[in-house]
Structure formats: structure tokens, C-alpha cells
Structure 1
């Protein structure tokens, strides 16, 4: 498998000469500017001042096509504490036909319901363990048929910014991936990296009357390299999903299971891994089952610039394999307001042992806190997309 990536690179070099030339290059540039209001009921400062409102992200999107080769890229600029600048995605593609495409670069991992297994701004609990809207470095072949779609992919590694032999994975990333854990004193432990992962996804599409169904199965298997011992562990994940569309209703449901077997020092627990994104790491249980269910209803309206209201509720449960660990819950109820190019998510997100919805950031998805309360975050995200 070590020769696969050079072969794909060579393929992208050769293919443009074998197709009909495109007369003019195409380029489309867009992006978004978003602001965020956040009131977290476990933060005393928020209680006293009524939350905070500030900058979320500025992003640039570019799509291009010339002589049969396509480009799709998105670069995001968050504040420094949230990781600063990062490439969310960036890939080259070639269409063999209307139904078959190959992508090379930082591309979305084909796992579960894509593009999102959720309706809200916070995504589902899968996102926080690297199993929703994940993007890794490699190549992906996709086929779309009348009833059957499938994806096959090989990812050399997750986003890589440091190319040293023993460089820890950067936390300046959009997708949650396996990383090292850095404590408050700046010391690193659990120094693992994802490598050489194979992915496959198969889904079946059907229509009965006004109801559209999608059934899917996904799997992945790859290596976990430890920087301290220089030994290789492995990991796998598996998912079953069902999505339904009926008139203005949408339902997303998914079961996923994952497990990591690390090869780190004996002083480190094999029941935990570190994952990171948005400038910081946290601990995650090395094995768990994930259950998610979401439903939405879209109501067209004519309220000045407001054209649509999408109401939704997304629930997620993380059942950790270690009996002594405390499980994680997440539920988000909200509405997406569409007004021209402005999209506003108004969410009431609650959770227990969820890092972004409570005080237990480092340990919430790992061992968890058995005394944790169910805490809430009221969030409004306003974005202008151009």
C-alpha cells in the first residue's frame, strides 16, 4: 500500500492529456463571515454579564476547473485561541464519467451520513471523536448510481503541518483527529498519530411514494503510530445509518462503533487516547458505541428577507466500553433562519460530559465525571455567506 499515493499522483499528471481540452478555466470564489453569541450556564462570568458576543470565523472558498481537473478548497481563520488559520479541505479531482470521480488531497472521509450527520451548528457527538465531517490526507474514489453509491479511500494520515520524525500533531485543525495531549505545563503525553487508514462506504437509495430512503454501511481500519515507543497500534470504526426525507421532514439516524489499540508507554492508559482540534486537545475513551438520532422540519415563510425556518432536534449518546467510565450525552434543539445570504443558527445545546457543553473539557469524553450535572449552552451563530 505504500506505493498507492505516488501512483495516484502520477495518474493526476497523465489524465488531463487524455481528455478533451476545456477552452476556458473556471473559477468561483466565495466565503463567509460569522459571529457568535454564547451563554453557558456553568460559567459564572456568563451569568453575571449575560454571555459573550464576538468573532467566530472568516473563511474563503475556491472552486476551479480546467482541462478536466477540478479544485475545491476552504481556508478558515479563527481567533488564535481556537487554532488560528487552518485548511478545512483542499483537494484535486478528476471525473472519469458523470458517475465516477477520484479526489486527491485533504478530502472528506467517507463514513456514516455525509456531509453532516446532524442539523445544528454543534454537529452530532460523532464529530467530537472524529467520525463526522472528518477530513484527512489521501485519495478517494466515489461512484454514484441510480440506487447504489460507494466510496473507497486510502488516507496516508490526518492533516499534517509538521514533517519531523517525532513531531506532535498540530491542534490547529478543523477535524478532530488523534493527537498528543499537552498539559498546562506544556508537557506532552499520549503521543499518537493516525496513519495508513483504509475506508469504505456503501449506501442504497430508494423512493416509495413521497418518501426517500438511504441505507448505508461504513467501515475503516488503519494504524496508530506512537512517537515515544515508535511502535504501531491500530484502530477501526464501523457504522450503520438510515436517512429519510418526506416532504419537509428529514430524519438522520446512525449507530457507530470504534476502537483504538495504542502502542504507547506502559505508564499510559490503553483505555484513553488524545484528540485535538481548534487549538486544544482532550482525552477520549479508546472504545465506545455511538447512537445518534435527529429530525428536522423546514417551513417556508415570507417575512421580509426571511425565507425559511428549519426546526430540529439532534440527540447523541456515547456508551463507553470501560464500565468505570461515565457516558456522554448531547442534545441540541434549535432553528436555522435563512434570510438571503444570512444563515442564523439559534441553538439550545445541553450535555453531560460533553467538552464543549460543560466544565469537564479534558476528561468529559474520556473517563468522564460521575458527578457531572446536565449543563446548557444557549448559542446564536450569525453568518453571511457569499
Structure 2
């Protein structure tokens, strides 16, 4: 009996120990499972966090690349706005940080000009071919320090075109001091692609060089230019009193007229569009004093302009609308407040003191990869008109159909232009009044080929 109890006790003890062992093993398995489940959840959480960090990093890299491309594009646009876009050969002579280049150009013209029986521009005389321009260019770049100089020689006169020193703060900011291009209009040459430009140029409202300081800054959405000019670029060697210069300014040709002083400019251009269509929408403001050198009162001048540049594939459409006014005294040498004396290329002429000026240009660049002797051809059509506020004056329009041809260091313009009020189109009307009263209001034509070799 005692032995049986002992056996039962032993079995009970063994059974209890087995149960405890099983319970312990179950608890251990549960603990391991919980630990494994916790580890999986932690890993999943960590993976999600890493994925978020990777997405953020990719977004940051994409944004940085986009900003880099924008900065590069804006820097290239800034560089192009400061140099002649006719041709930029890479084989210039270099002296350390200084590059030496230039150009020589010849011109053929035929049109509505008086017959002289010789080598005139007349249709009857088969036109005229002559040397047009020789120019010398110096470009300096040493780290952030920049500089440009351009001087031009023509038949009987010569002048400084550009001469400034600058500092490049970074890819977005630059300053220039000296004779530099005034920031007015959609680009360095306004809306135009042609050799003749549009009527803005002849009013000193595109490709105008003056003496002063200009600051440029680019942001994500805007390009800004602000400038102050103490005077125009000055007059150089020629037969006129003050008109031996490249760009059109108010000139004191009589000695007691007006001179430009203290000019302020502001231009803003914003970049719109996506995909293949790009749009640059902008405005330009200009104000200057007109210093009297005679008995008449001082005057002033202002101009406001809205402009837009649309690009789609190889097409470029440029439009601009400008209003300007010269406030001058009727006691000035011209004897009226409705006209102002302007000049360039060693020739003075009169201009309407107040007008609206719309202009449009459509161009297409075709890269001729299949032709080894031609890089590209760019046909264009342009129109601009001076709508004068004075009712007794006739308006002055200019229309051009042409093309620009680029091949290596050669750059050639072929232009057919018609105008009822431009000093360089036709010669049957008296010179000097076509942008002013334009009394004859006679449409004339000119076909022009300009051959340029750039080195």
C-alpha cells in the first residue's frame, strides 16, 4: 500500500514536472513569437522610414538638378544678352584672361535710290557693293571679374560700341560699369532678328548703349535689371557735331540743344509655360532728363513697354508695345515741341516727340545638319510702325522679310525691306524727317545682303 502510494506520488511529481515543462516551453515559444513579431514590425517601420528618406532625397536631387539647369540657362541668357549674337566663334586669339576678336563686314544694297550713273544703290545702277564695318573686340574674364570692349570703324567715321568692367557675384547676379546695353525690351535687339532691326532701334529703345551702371539678378521666376546712366555713350570721330555714335540718342547737333542726362531703367521678365511652349512675359520702364545747352528749359523723356517672347520648337514669336514721350521746349533750336533731334552713324535726324510703337517678329531656325557648308538658316518676317500723337504727322512703318545664314565664322543677312518712314530704306525722299513729320509718306524698298566674317 505504501509502495503504491509512493509510485502514485512519483507519477504525480513526474506529471507535475512535465506540465510545468510544457507550460514553460509554451511560454518560451510565445515569448519568441512575440519577439519575432516585434522585430518584423520594427523592420517594417524602419523600411518605411528609409523609403520616405529616399523619396525626400530623390525629390531634393531633382529640385537641385532643376535649379542647376535653370541657373545655367539664365547664365547663358545673361551672357548672350551682353554680346553680339550674330556670331560667337570659339577660335579667338587669347592672351591669358584676355580674348581678342573682331569682324569685317561688306554690304550690297539695291533699291529705290536716285540714279547717279555710277555705283549707286539704284535699281538702274545695279546696286552698290562696299566695305561696311571693321570692328575689334576684347573680352576679359578672370574669376568673377569681367570686361568687354568693342570699337567700330566705318567709311568716314568711327566710335566706341561697348566698354565696361563687371563683377559676377554668382550665377544669378552681375554688375556692369561703363558703356553697356540699356535694359529695355524683350532682348538685346528688341523683337528683331534682321539686319535693319525694327523701329524701336531708331528711337533709342533697343540695342542702346549708354554710360552708367547696370545690375542684373535672376530668381526662380523672374529676371530683373536695374540701371542708372549718367549720360549717353558720347560722340566720337565723324563729320557731324554729336552723331558719330552707334546707338540713337538725343543729340545736341546745333550746340545749344538737348543732351541726355540721369537716365533710370527697370526691366522685369518672368518665365512661363511648360513642355514645348515657353513664354517670357515682361515690362520695361525708362526715364531720363534732357539737359538744355541753350536758352530753352530743361526737358525729360520717358518710355513704358510691355513685351512677350514665345518659343515653340524652332519658332520664335516676339511682340512689343511701347509708348514714349519727349517733353521738350518749343524754344529749342528745332522751333517746336513736337520734334526732337536724334542721331547715330554720323547722321542727325528728327523724331516725333510722342508716339505709340507696336512691333512683331516671327522667326524659324532650321539647323542644316545635312549640309556640311551651312550650320543653320533662320528666315524671319518683321513689322513695326510709329503711330504718332501729332495729327499733322504721317506714321512711319517698316516691314522686313529676310533670313540669316550661319556657316562657321560667316554670318550673312539677306533682307528685303519696305518702309514709308525709315532713314535707311530708299533715298528718293529727303533724309532726316522720315521718323518726324514724314511729309512725303512714300513707300520705298531696299534689298540688302550683309556679309560678315567674325574672328
For Structure 1 versus Structure 2, the TM-score category normalised by the shorter chain is 0.7 to 0.9
- Partners of 1:108 and 1:142 lie apart in 2 by 12
Matched, 1:178 2:250: yes
Aligned to 2:151: 75
Q: Residue 408 of structure 2 corresponds to which residue in structure 1?
A: 340
TM-score (norm 1): 0.86
Paired residues of 1:160 and 1:169 also in contact (CA < 8 A)? no
2:434 matches 1:364: yes
Q: Report SS of the residue matched to 1:97.
A: coil
Cα RMSD (Å): 1.8
User: Are 1:373 and 2:442 counterparts?
Assistant: yes
TM-score normalised by L of structure 2: 0.74
Structure-1 separation of matches of 2:124 and 2:223? 52
Aligned equivalents of 1:322 and 1:264: distance in 2? 14
1:29 to 100, 112, 124: 100
Aligned equivalent of 2:220, options 131, 136, 146: 146
**Aligned pair partner of 2:211 in 124, 131, 137:** 137
- Aligned to 2:124, what secondary structure does the other structure show? helix
Q: For residues 169 and 205 of structure 1, do their structure 2 counterparts lie closer, same or farther at Cα, with a shift above 3 Å needed?
A: farther
Q: 2:319 aligns with which of 230, 253, 263?
A: 253
Which position in structure 2 is the counterpart of 1:286? 353
The whole-number CA distance in structure 2 between the counterparts of 1:191 and 1:264 is 11
**Deviates most, 323-332 or 202-211:** 202-211
Please identify, of 233-242 and 62-71, the stretch whose mean Cα deviation from structure 2 is larger: 62-71
| 2:270–2:282 contact (8 Å) kept in structure 1 | yes
Q: How does 1:1-386 map to 2 (within 5 A)?
A: 26-45=97-116, 46-66=122-142, 68-80=144-156, 84-117=157-190, 118-161=192-235, 170-181=242-253, 188=254, 191-229=257-295, 231-263=297-329, 265=331, 268-301=335-368, 302-358=370-426, 359-369=429-439, 371-386=440-455
Alpha carbons 2:211, 2:229 under 8 Å: kept: yes
Q: CA deviation at 1:67?
A: 5.5
Rounded Cα–Cα distance in structure 2 between residues aligned with 1:312 and 1:56 = 23
Q: Deviations over 1:10-48 (max 9, x none)?
A: xxxxxxxxxxxxxx9511111111000010223324122
Which runs of no fewer than 5 residues in structure 2 stay unpaired? 1-94, 117-121
Size of the alignment, in residue pairs?
348
Larger Rg: 2
Higher helix share: 2
SS in 1 for 2:202: helix
Moved more, 117-126 or 189-198: 189-198
Shift, 1:206, TM fit: 2.0
Q: Which has the higher strand share?
A: 1
Alpha-carbon distance in 2 for matches of 1:38, 1:283: 24
Does the 8 Å contact 2:255/2:293 carry over to 1? no
Q: Which runs of 5+ in 1 are unaligned?
A: 1-23, 163-167, 182-187
1:180 CA displacement: 2.8
Higher relative contact order (CA 8 A, sep 6+): 1
